[in-house]
Structure 1
Amino acid sequence: MTSTVSPKRILDQPFVLDLFAGPGGLDVAGHSLGIPSLGIEWDKSACLTRYAAGLDTLHADVSTVRRDAFESLPPEINVLAGGPPCQTYSVAGKGAGRKALEEVKGFIERLMAGDPEEAIDKELKNLSDPRTALVLEPLRYAIQATRSPNRGRRPYDVIVLEQVPAVKALWDRYAEVLQDIGLPDGTKYKVVVDVLDTETYGVPQTRSRAVLIARREGLGEPALPRATHRAYEAKEWNRRNGGIPTQATLDEANTAEPPSQPAEGGDKPDHWVSMRDVLTERKTPFLVRSNYGSSGIPGRRGVRTDRQPAATVTGRISRFVVFEHLNDDIVYEGPRFSMNEAGMLQSFPPDYPWSGTAKAQQVGNAVPPLFGAHLLSAALGLPSPHPEAMRKPWVPATEEQRAKLRSHGCGAADDCTARCPRPE
């Protein structure tokens, strides 16, 4: 179910708690909508990026904050959001999470029934990959909010979650228990769940995500964001020649896809946004070869022209090979995507201050901000965001602001402290 009616704002002062916040995808989305947020992030480098961007951050483990520091969170937070780590559920991983789906569903039911946290934590340690259990953290935060004296035991008003498509089965179970059973204190929600494609929301990249939007009963029926752009469909030539571009490939590519432009008339969605539309500094037409699948759909991999959206941006974005010059079937390899370009394919602002190490992993793990803005807008009854909102120059934090953010997030203005997560 997607939104077909005029939006109606449901919260006067939304404040987002972003779990597994990464370098700031959902926070950048909130910033574009004028919504404050606090992110909790484990990875040190992602936190450095967040501090440089001026984003309020706790350098901490999500589970540890829930257990030991929940009462220190701002009581005015009323929106719970996040994208739990996807490695164990992703088709690019080993599949520990996918194999444990039924087991994780059982833990959902036990949490809603109010089973002792200590017993559940003990059993979760038996999972083959401990990251699999992180998908339960949003539910555990929702329950904890109803037990928090600092909040007056007030539940979150809105919940917004996203993950890889394989997690839809768990979001469906979330929806069932939130609607039919309710949290242990009796709070129930209205919920919608589906798998959405990011290119249909103006992101210049094909990326499928399982999303959940929930509103506390009494705040109206939630709806998924209305698609603003057409879906991308792979062409047969994308997978010819073993992924080796030729002049013939380029010629066929340039005639197979029209230039990106708005569709004419009424409510018809715009053409999807291409790589060329956002990577304007690249003056020469180019082809990109991806050596792995996109969102588990083999037909989405192979070779793409700059007139198409990028394949799914992951931590391996530096492996994308970019071909710029083709002459008499001789292929020349051009410069690969910079981290700023990779970020732009995720819909981050062009000058976003990527910091620390493993920048490609930060980019690939992030929620595309424009997609996040659509999710938050739909969840909160706000108008759909415009793609240009994410292309405005980003104002980085000053050294003084960065030190203040780090002092709040790490405990010291210039370094991590004992309260920060250890790398292992």
Structure 2
Amino acid sequence: MSNPEPQTHDSEDRSFDYDVLDLFAGPGGLDVAAHFLGLTSVGIELDGNACETRYRAGLPTIHADVTVMRKERYDEVPHTRVLAGGPPCQSFSIAGKGAGREALDTVTELIDELIEDPEGQLVDKKLEDLDARTGLVLEPLRYLLKAINSGRGPYRYIVLEQVPAVYAVWDAYARVLAGGAIKRPRLDSSGQVQNDEVRYEVDYEVLRTEEYGVPQTRKRAVLVARLIDGEQHPDEPLKLPDPTHDRFITLRQKSTGNDATLFPVESKEPETNSKKPWRSMHTALFAAKKELDASHHSISRDSKFYVVSNYGSGGDPKNRGIRHWDQPSFTVTGKISRNRPMNASGKPLSRFTIHEAGVLQSFPGDFPWCGKDQAQQVGNAVPPVFGMHVLGAALGLAPSFPDGLNLEWGGSVDALRSADLRLGGCPPERACPTGHPYDQPAEDSSTTSRPRTGASAKSPSK
């Protein structure tokens, strides 16, 4: 399973430019998932650093603002059968100030207003009073309405993910997607406009990534939808994927002020049944050792270690959480460099590198992280293995994973391919919104790794 080559289109319907349109695409978590499912994808991403990672990885990209593309450049948006996205979640996140959580009622009300007025001018006016990022959670619905009213027709599949606080928004999405509130105008034989109902099968829930083979605990509110088409009759009803791995149960323990005292002689093993044990940090890093060795910042972690979290627990900032080498990682955020790996005696070890953090997010160990703010890129991304499960459930595809769940990417694509993707993402007639960091070396630190030699030359985390 590797990908140094350009993606090739192999959809059953050649009328589509790509299979998947990934809004707020970041460095490519869902795109990587799509690739390993045999799907083609294109992402829209505003951050130039994330775009540079995508170009080096061979991922088709439009470097632009999602809202601007919908409003002003929709004719440039590729036609796809799948609409996917994880809108920025800072204002909804528990780690943030909570402006989005306070505005949840307002946002859900605006969903109904968009159905009545797809152009949404009144909605835009009301959004001016909210955190600018809060309204971005409405963009997937606005893209669906735009596709319908532009004559393209509805997307066949929709896949959305966000922090658990956005569950209420997905609940409102589900109501309008499944309830027939969305209409598709058409001319009947007499030339009169008729409004046909657009309905979807929908399933949505808060899922835990470690239950799908990701070596990290992370909760995500996920929605999948499939268009109900009178000409198509799927054999199976739409549903979110069943967990494949055990849930990690946290055993809390009061700190005594000495981190080493919290390292037990033996870690508690999960109780398995028909599921696989959750994947540990050590298992994932060991499986990706060959790819990590090629990243120029490989660190031997063969011995037992434990990790002290940057965050407190139980409301006490001094009571840092502890994870052991044979347990899943804490949620990988843009501040993962502040987590402190220690050996069994309490001696500090090297902090996690960017490539190691990527592996804990389930990215291939040789994925070509580029540009600045790499820790934020990693922390903001959708874990690809989790994305494979969710995309696969929406499209009725069964993901096939290699032994050890170690995905191999192949490093950077060649310089010509990378330059071609950059030209496509930022054509000469369009000014890049934020510029690109290419031709600039990545910042050198204990948590940042450079692109491999010989290859081609956001705000708080989700």
Bin of the TM-score, shorter chain as denominator length: 0.7 to 0.9
Is 1:92 equivalent to 2:95 in the alignment?
Answer: yes
1:316 corresponds, among 321, 326, 335, to 335
| Identity fraction in percent | 48
Q: CA RMSD in A?
A: 2.3
After the TM superposition, which residues 98-113 of structure 1 pair with which residues of structure 2 at under 5 Å, given as runs? 98-113=101-116
Deviation, 1:418, is 4.7
Cα distance in 1, alignment partners of residues 111 and 50 from structure 2:
29
Deviation, 1:422, is 3.7
Deviation, 1:256, is 3.2
Cα distance in 1, alignment partners of residues 165 and 390 from structure 2:
19
Deviation, 1:184, is 3.1
Name the amino acid aligned to 1:371.
F
- 1:58 matched residue in structure 2: 62
After the TM superposition, which residues 138-177 of structure 1 pair with which residues of structure 2 at under 5 Å, given as runs? 138-149=140-151, 153-177=152-176
Is 1:211 equivalent to 2:222 in the alignment?
Answer: yes
CA-to-partner distance for each residue in 1:60-108, whole Å, 9 max, x for gaps? Answer: 0000001111122233x10000100010000000001000000001110
Cα distance in 2, alignment partners of residues 215 and 301 from structure 1:
42
Deviation, 1:293, is 6.2
Q: The residue matched to 1:273 in structure 2 has which SS?
A: coil
| TM-score, normalised by the number of residues in structure 2 | 0.80
- 1:36 matched residue in structure 2: 40
Name the amino acid aligned to 2:311.
Y
- 2:248 matched residue in structure 1: 232
Name the amino acid aligned to 1:245.
D
Deviation, 1:392, is 2.0
Deviation, 1:385, is 3.6
Name the amino acid aligned to 1:194.
E
Q: The residue matched to 1:229 in structure 2 has which SS?
A: coil
Q: The residue matched to 1:378 in structure 2 has which SS?
A: helix
1:359 corresponds, among 374, 377, 401, to 374
Cα distance in 2, alignment partners of residues 51 and 181 from structure 1:
39
- 2:356 matched residue in structure 1: 341
CA-to-partner distance for each residue in 1:152-174, whole Å, 9 max, x for gaps? Answer: x3210000000000000000110
CA-to-partner distance for each residue in 1:147-200, whole Å, 9 max, x for gaps? Answer: 224xxx321000000000000000011001111133232211110110000000
2:322 corresponds, among 293, 300, 303, to 303
CA-to-partner distance for each residue in 1:11-57, whole Å, 9 max, x for gaps? Answer: 83570000000000000001111100000000010000000100000
2:259 corresponds, among 236, 240, 245, to 245
Is 1:20 equivalent to 2:19 in the alignment?
Answer: no
2:410 corresponds, among 381, 391, 394, to 394
Q: The residue matched to 2:198 in structure 1 has which SS?
A: coil
Cα distance in 2, alignment partners of residues 40 and 393 from structure 1:
21
- 1:74 matched residue in structure 2: 78
Cα distance in 2, alignment partners of residues 50 and 193 from structure 1:
29
The structure richer in helix per residue is: 1
CA-to-partner distance for each residue in 1:210-246, whole Å, 9 max, x for gaps? Answer: 0000000135431001110000001133x4225x421
Cα distance in 2, alignment partners of residues 107 and 228 from structure 1:
37
After the TM superposition, which residues 361-376 of structure 1 pair with which residues of structure 2 at under 5 Å, given as runs? 361-376=376-391
Structure 2 residues not aligned, in runs of 5+? 1-10, 185-196, 287-299, 436-457
CA-to-partner distance for each residue in 1:339-392, whole Å, 9 max, x for gaps? Answer: 000000000000111100010000000000000000011001011342645522
- 1:8 matched residue in structure 2: none
Cα distance in 1, alignment partners of residues 119 and 385 from structure 2:
39
CA 1:352–1:54 in structure 2 vs 1: closer, same or farther (change >3 Å)? same
| TM-score, normalised by the number of residues in structure 1 | 0.87
CA 1:393–1:27 in structure 2 vs 1: closer, same or farther (change >3 Å)? closer
Cα distance in 2, alignment partners of residues 30 and 389 from structure 1:
16
Cα distance in 2, alignment partners of residues 228 and 102 from structure 1:
34
Is 1:411 equivalent to 2:427 in the alignment?
Answer: yes
Q: The residue matched to 1:370 in structure 2 has which SS?
A: helix
Deviation, 1:332, is 1.2
- 2:206 matched residue in structure 1: 195
Q: Which stretch of the first structure deviates more once superposed, 304-313 or 389-398?
A: 389-398
Cα distance in 1, alignment partners of residues 320 and 29 from structure 2:
24
Cα distance in 1, alignment partners of residues 133 and 48 from structure 2:
18
Size of the alignment, in residue pairs? 389
> Does the Cα contact within 8 Å between 1:325 and 1:333 map onto a contact in 2?
no
Q: The residue matched to 1:92 in structure 2 has which SS?
A: coil
Q: The residue matched to 1:174 in structure 2 has which SS?
A: helix
Deviation, 1:285, is 1.1
Name the amino acid aligned to 1:133.
G
- 1:125 matched residue in structure 2: 128
Cα distance in 2, alignment partners of residues 54 and 390 from structure 1:
19
Name the amino acid aligned to 1:170.
V
Deviation, 1:119, is 2.4
CA 1:115–1:142 in structure 2 vs 1: closer, same or farther (change >3 Å)? closer
> Does the Cα contact within 8 Å between 1:373 and 1:385 map onto a contact in 2?
no
Name the amino acid aligned to 1:31.
H
CA 1:272–1:173 in structure 2 vs 1: closer, same or farther (change >3 Å)? same
CA-to-partner distance for each residue in 1:129-161, whole Å, 9 max, x for gaps? Answer: 100000000000011111224xxx321000000
